[in-house]
Amino acid sequence: MKKTQKNNSYRKYAIAGLIGIGITGMAFQLLSYRSLHGSSLFYIAIPLLLAYVFINTMPSKTHTGRILKGTTIVLLLSGPILQEGFICIVMAAPLFYIVGGIIGAVLDYRVRKGKTKIHSSFLLSIMLMMSLEGTHTMFTFDRFNTVVVKKVVNASVTEVKNQLNRPINLGHQVPTYLKLFPFPSSKDFTGNHVGDVNTLNFIYKKHVYFNPVIGDLKYQIVNTGRNFIESKVISDHSYVNTYLNWQSSKVSWNEIDSNHTEVIWQINYERKLDPAWYFGTLEKYTVTLMANTLIKYSATPNFAR
């Protein structure tokens, strides 16, 4: 008897998972057709729809349990079935769990307290309104962002300038979080004079160890001065461009004394994913870490290759 119940549970897990992955796949294709796959319509509305499916199909004692189990199955299957990259799954997972967890918690609370459906209906209305972010300019928060990082390095101004005039080749001592993302390395470095065009190569292993996606980013030096170099991106075919649009960069330096220099690295970029409260925070943190890493390896002689 117990074995039969266990088999039935596995069967329900499989059915619910396939229904969930089918809904996710179809929704992604439809939204991609209208260029809305990066909007909250995918990252909030789809978890809402999945929550409804799992409440009615997934075996568990609580609504929250059903939703989170089903969400986990969909996320695990999205790689091999939908061919989603590891980084996309990692970035989307917390948001799917947040939306599903909130819905489940409210429904479980309603069951425990014997509340009416009005509470869950109100929450559903709020969530649906939030899912409109990114679908139209009037529902979109500012996408353009600037990150500025300042650090004092143990080097003279001359040493910093010499280091900046070398090809970008970031080392391996970087935050673990950054290792999740495609990392740049110089492919074609012509220099840091006005008009020079340099190329960075990004290699992203879509499924962690295999299926590499290779793309180049070209940037042009647009302005230089006694203590700064300013560049802008002129083309970007890297995988990073699917969720973030690099725009321009400015590195400047100020002498503190003969052995210490303040380096300031400014990066301007455009956020391409919604909602802003989630992806805006995530991308700002990522770009800040990248700016720190650029100062560490591209402006500090002690970390020269």
Residues 245 and 275 grouped into a single domain: yes
CATH code of the domain in which 256 resides: 3.30.530.20
Task: Indicate if 158 and 290 belong to the same structural domain.
Answer: yes
Give me 297's structure tokens. 């390896």
Count of the separate structural domains present in the chain: 2
Q: Are 221 and 196 in contact (CB under 8 A)?
A: yes
Domain of residue 178 covers: 144-303
CA distance 64 to 50: 12
- pLDDT profile of the chain (305 residues), mean per 10: 57 77 83 86 90 81 87 81 69 91 86 65 84 91 96 94 87 77 81 93 67 86 95 92 93 94 97 95 94 91 62
Do 79 and 158 meet the contact criterion of CB atoms below 8 Å apart? no
**Is the same domain home to 151 and 100?**
no
- Same domain, yes or no: 154 and 291: yes
pTM of the shown model: 0.86
Contact between 26 and 79 under an 8 Å Cβ cutoff? The reply is no
